[in-house]
């Protein structure tokens, strides 16, 4: 028998239960995987609280990102073998010591990438890559504004944009995170709880404002972000940790603000095929080897303490990536 952190209803972090599960043998196209590290993402909070579009069948095991070692493969699996080091994202059920995973979701890890680092950056790194290379291809002439620049995705996105030569402005929610955002390549850091965002962006850019805003926050931050953009600038949303923006007449609003362009993105539209996932992993490893990405694993919790990890994430007490260790 093995254990998992499971929920039987939606609610606050106290809904997690540490319980025994029976994993069983893998099906024909499945792999039995023993986790070494599990990535924590804000989407997990949405799912736990019932604020996510993905349907859940209770009891449910949350988590979509992890890395570990193959223990057993199904009869129709030829691309993996016992002992292989692998990682995945996008397969619900990661908050467990051992689980079954569809073989098509797995990526074999190169020697240069250990399992904890893979769990920390695979999903976040591939997200950062699509944001700055595909959703909005960042150029060296761009002024880039990144919200939550000390967070899991934001830290890697800021580093990637800086490596591309862009001038990066990062926002953080507290003075304690200023140094972390600066270390991620942000030329300027704005503490949004103390400084007026749009006015500071205009002052820092001598009135030019930003070419693009990368926004995982939503809520009031989204509408303020529009005031940070130059004419024909881009707003790229990739989350809503602060909720949905206030209702507006969007097309009229975008025109009045300077013929702006706004998009709400999701990873599956940019990395939805096996070849795109493998390319994303190769790009990540290359960026790591070249020193363009310097991932920070800011917090590690035993999987049994997943409730506390959720509390800290929601309270914005975390920096960089957070791991759960089985």
Strands 60-61 and 65-73, how do they pair? Answer: unpaired
Fold held by 124-268: Rossmann fold (3.40.50)
Q: Tokens at residue 4, please?
A: 């998992």
Whether omega before 59 lies within 30 degrees of 0, making that bond cis, reads yes
Q: Tokens at residue 182, please?
A: 């600066």
Contacts 24+ apart (CB under 8 A), 288-291: 288/112, 288/113, 289/112
Residue appearing with tokens 């059920």: 93
Spatial separation of the C-alpha atoms in residues 265 and 260, rounded to whole Å? 16
Half-sphere exposure in the Cβ direction for 191 (13 Å, CA) = 9
* Superfamily designation of domain 2-109+296-325: Medium-chain alcohol dehydrogenases, catalytic domain (3.90.180.10)
DSSP single-letter state for residue 96: B
DSSP single-letter state for residue 267: G
Spatial separation of the C-alpha atoms in residues 252 and 57, rounded to whole Å? 41
pLDDT per position as a tens digit, 5-42:
999 999 999 999 999 999 999 999 999 999 999 999 99
Residue among 203, 166, 209 at smallest CA distance from 187? 166
Q: What is the pLDDT of residue 276?
A: 87
**CA 73, 302, 151, 160 torsion: positive or negative?**
negative
For CATH 3.90.180.10, list the domain ranges present in the chain. 2-109+296-325
First to last CA, the chain: 14
Strands (E), the chain: 2-7, 17-21, 30-39, 60-61, 65-73, 85-89, 98-102, 107-108, 143-146, 167-172, 188-191, 210-215, 229-237, 261-264, 297-302, 321-325
Mapping DSSP to helix (H, G, I), strand (E, B) and coil, where does residue 298 land?
strand
pLDDT per position as a tens digit, 207-244:
999 999 999 988 888 889 999 999 999 999 998 776 67
Cα angle 60, 62, 66 (rounded to 5 degrees) comes to 140
Do residues 20 and 3 lie in contact, with contact meaning Cβ atoms separated by under 8 Å? yes
pLDDT per position as a tens digit, 40-79:
999 899 999 998 777 899 999 999 999 999 999 999 999 9
Secondary structure of 4-53 in the HEC alphabet?
EEEECCCCCHHHCEEEEECCCCCCCCEEEEEEEEEECCHHHHHHHHCCCC
pLDDT band at 180 (very low <50, low <70, confident <90, very high): very high
DSSP single-letter state for residue 131: I
For CATH 3.40.50.720, list the domain ranges present in the chain. 124-268
Residue among 210, 175, 207, 205 at smallest CA distance from 190? 175
pTM attached to this predicted model: 0.89
Q: What is the pLDDT of residue 248?
A: 67
């Amino acid at each position: 028998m093995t254990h998992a952190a499971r929920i039987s209803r939606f609610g606050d972090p106290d809904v997690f239960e540490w319980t025994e599960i029976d994993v069983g043998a893998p099906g024909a196209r499945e792999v039995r995987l023993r986790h070494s590290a599990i990535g924590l993402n804000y989407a997990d909070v949405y799912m736990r609280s019932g604020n996510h579009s993905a349907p859940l069948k209770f009891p449910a095991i949350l988590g979509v990102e992890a890395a570990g070692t193959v223990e057993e493969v199904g009869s129709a699996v030829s691309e993996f073998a016992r002992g292989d080091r692998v990682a995945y994202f996008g397969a619900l059920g990661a908050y467990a010591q051992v689980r079954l995973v569809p073989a098509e979701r797995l990526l074999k890890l190169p020697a240069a990438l250990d399992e904890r680092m893979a769990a920390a950056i695979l999903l976040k790194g591939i997200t950062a890559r699509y944001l700055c290379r595909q959703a909005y291809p960042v150029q060296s002439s761009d002024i880039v504004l990144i919200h939550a620049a000390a967070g899991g995705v934001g830290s890697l996105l800021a580093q990637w944009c800086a490596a591309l030569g862009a001038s990066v402005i990062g926002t953080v929610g507290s003075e304690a995170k200023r140094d972390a955002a600066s270390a991620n390549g942000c030329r300027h850091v704005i503490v949004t709880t103390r400084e007026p965002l749009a006015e500071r962006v205009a002052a820092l850019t001598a009135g030019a404002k930003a070419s693009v805003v990368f926004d995982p926050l939503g809520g009031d931050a989204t509408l303020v972000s529009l005031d940070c953009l130059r004419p024909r600038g881009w707003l790229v949303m990739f989350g809503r940790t602060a909720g949905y923006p206030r209702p507006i007449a969007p097309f009229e609003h975008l025109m009045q603000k300077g013929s702006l362009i706004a998009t709400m993105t999701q990873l599956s539209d940019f990395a939805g095929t096996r070849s795109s996932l493998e390319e994303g992993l190769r790009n990540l490893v290359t960026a790591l080897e070249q020193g363009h990405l310097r991932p920070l694993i800011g917090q590690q919790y035993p999987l049994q303490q997943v409730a506390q990890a959720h509390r800290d994430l929601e309270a914005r007490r975390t920096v960089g990536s957070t791991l759960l260790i089985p």
